[in-house]
Structure 1
Amino acid sequence: MAQIHFVRHAETLFNVSGQLQGWCDSPLTERGERQAAALGERMRDVPLAAAFVSDLTRTRSTMTAALAGHPQLEPTPLRELREWHFGSWEGQPNADLWTPVFEAHGKRYAPSPADWPGVTADGFDSVIDSIHRLDPIGRAETGADVTARVTAALEVVVAAAGRAAEQDAGDVLVVTHGSVLGSLLRSLVPEHRFGASVPNCGVVSVSWQEGKWAAAGVDSSCGQVA
């Protein structure tokens, strides 16, 4: 199999203001644009056979910069790579959602750092289902909803990695979102755990080793630009 490089989008206005994005969108900040440009330099010498991107604006903008050194490659947008849908909390302050969700799991969201590993120790379904259950309008996704689309996305991405390996054509690049990136990696590499969420423009590369997928640590260098 070719390597698959999973990337979280660059910094956005909502990231800076501490608002939940989900399926709504906000533009990259100036720093986010610099992060995305740094990602493009990082990927310039990486042979790429295919690229897949969430269909939301912030991921598309990040992907455009990431492929600066690969003008021949046209990324494939996948709705299945969207962030978790947060229902009525879309665009609201992070604490408005995460405080009750953490409390439902016997944890405190504040003071920081929040115990994300503790809340997700048994997987993401219980967290996502809590969001759905607490959503006053009932539009937030369930764990089953997210699992279904993550499974569909991975089928496409892994198939592309297989074709790339057969043709010795290069790696696969995927640009997506923070929470759903955790879902993707947990599905592909069940034993993989994050100490915290992947930072903006963080890269997690996975490779096929001894009959299963293995994940490297998070490369946060592109997100550390001033």
Structure 2
Amino acid sequence: MKKNFGTLLVCLLGLTIIGGFSKNNEAEAAKKNDEVTVYLIRHGKTFFNTTGQVQGFADSPLTDKGISQAKKLGTGLKDVTFDLAYSGDLGRQRNTAKLILSKNDNKKPKLMEHDGFKEWNYGGYEGKTDKEMWTPIFEANGFKLDDDWSDYDKLVEKIGDDGIANAIAENDPLKAAENYDEITTRGKAAMAKVIKDAKKTNAKNVMIVSSGGMIPTLLELLTPNEYNGEMMDNCSVTTLNYKDGKYTLDKIGDTQYIE
């Protein structure tokens, strides 16, 4: 009886130790699974980008150059294993994402769409010239709009992403443009879903194809004070690292793959 009791005690101790190791291993695994690299990509060049027209919720097709940019970027990122892939539900974003994934050498994830990654809604300015929408905002703040957008970073520094969005909404003759709160609400929801999906699937690398206005907004939300008005070129890559509930900015507007 004593022998059996001793054997039982040893077994129980063994199970306790194994259980402890198991919990520790699970904790370590969960900690590792919390690290995610996010590739924020602007879509390729479009017809409206070429003609200098406002393009938010309104859409225009990728040009030949835009298609070439997306393919080059896909080739440059072909060795990256994207565990998850998202885009906004605009054609220029969706098609850019598909072209990038078509060049990837690894198992390709299903492309998911989320309206949180759409460009800002510019309301009554959609389809009109960039100058018509932007000139009043530049001039009201003591700056000049030129073809190179030379003062854009100064404008952002002075009134911020929120000031720009709210100025557009206020100036919009149709009063249909989004204000900053509306834009950030859907942006936050989109990124919350990405991280939730990443944790659920143990994703390490996530691709998101968005637009030149929305990407800086996401940066302002995720890495406050690290975005300083840099322009996002077509098919540029901005890389974020997510760990322990926080984002850090690695690269911003990288165009090495398409130059």
Do they superpose with TM above 0.5? yes
Q: Which amino acid aligns with 2:72?
A: A
What displacement does 1:40 show?
A: 1.2
Corresponding position of 2:233: 199
- Greater helix share, structure number: 2
Secondary structure of 1:3 counterpart: strand
Aligned counterpart in structure 1 of residue 128 of structure 2, from 80, 86, 92: 92
Tell me if the contact between 1:50 and 1:75 (Cα under 8 Å) persists in the aligned partners: yes
1:55-92 Cα offsets, whole Å, 9 max, x none, are 00000110001111256411110011110111111111
RMSD value, Cα: 1.8
Q: Which amino acid aligns with 1:215?
A: L
- Over 3 Å counting, the alpha-carbon distance change for 1:85 and 1:35 in structure 2 is same
Aligned counterpart in structure 2 of residue 62 of structure 1, from 83, 87, 96: 96
Q: Which amino acid aligns with 1:44?
A: K
Tell me if the contact between 2:154 and 2:229 (Cα under 8 Å) persists in the aligned partners: no
Q: Separation in 2 of the partners of 1:25 and 1:4? A: 25
Corresponding position of 2:109: 73
Corresponding position of 1:107: 143
Aligned counterpart in structure 1 of residue 182 of structure 2, from 145, 153, 158: 145
Tell me if the contact between 1:199 and 1:223 (Cα under 8 Å) persists in the aligned partners: no
Q: Separation in 2 of the partners of 1:154 and 1:142? A: 19
1:82-108 Cα offsets, whole Å, 9 max, x none, are 101111111111111100111233322
Secondary structure of 1:213 counterpart: strand
1:156 equivalent to 2:190? Answer: no
1:6 equivalent to 2:40? Answer: yes
Tell me if the contact between 1:56 and 1:82 (Cα under 8 Å) persists in the aligned partners: yes
What displacement does 1:211 show?
A: 6.4
What displacement does 1:195 show?
A: 4.6
Tell me if the contact between 2:60 and 2:92 (Cα under 8 Å) persists in the aligned partners: yes
What stretches of structure 1 of length at least 5 have no aligned partner? none
Secondary structure of 1:6 counterpart: strand
> Which structure exhibits the higher relative contact order, with contacts defined as CA atoms closer than 8 Å and separated by 6 or more residues?
1
Tell me if the contact between 1:3 and 1:161 (Cα under 8 Å) persists in the aligned partners: no
1:171-217 Cα offsets, whole Å, 9 max, x none, are 00000000011001111111212453110000001113686311122
User: How many corresponding residue pairs?
Assistant: 221
Secondary structure of 1:222 counterpart: coil
Corresponding position of 1:28: 62
1:149-184 Cα offsets, whole Å, 9 max, x none, are 1111111122233345xx3x4300000000011001
* Alignment TM-score, normalising by the size of structure 2: 0.80
Aligned counterpart in structure 1 of residue 170 of structure 2, from 130, 133, 137: 133
Q: Which amino acid aligns with 1:129?
A: N
Tell me if the contact between 1:11 and 1:32 (Cα under 8 Å) persists in the aligned partners: yes
Tell me if the contact between 2:82 and 2:108 (Cα under 8 Å) persists in the aligned partners: no
Mean Cα displacement is larger for which, 2-11 or 40-49? Answer: 40-49
* Alignment TM-score, normalising by the size of structure 1: 0.91
Q: Separation in 1 of the partners of 2:245 and 2:226? A: 16
1:131-166 Cα offsets, whole Å, 9 max, x none, are 0110111001111111111111111122233345xx
Tell me if the contact between 1:48 and 1:171 (Cα under 8 Å) persists in the aligned partners: yes
What stretches of structure 2 of length at least 5 have no aligned partner? 1-34
1:32-74 Cα offsets, whole Å, 9 max, x none, are 1110101211221101110110000000110001111256411
Q: Which amino acid aligns with 1:128?
A: A
Q: Separation in 2 of the partners of 1:223 and 1:130? A: 33
- Over 3 Å counting, the alpha-carbon distance change for 1:111 and 1:76 in structure 2 is closer
Aligned counterpart in structure 1 of residue 247 of structure 2, from 195, 198, 213: 213
Bigger radius of gyration:
2
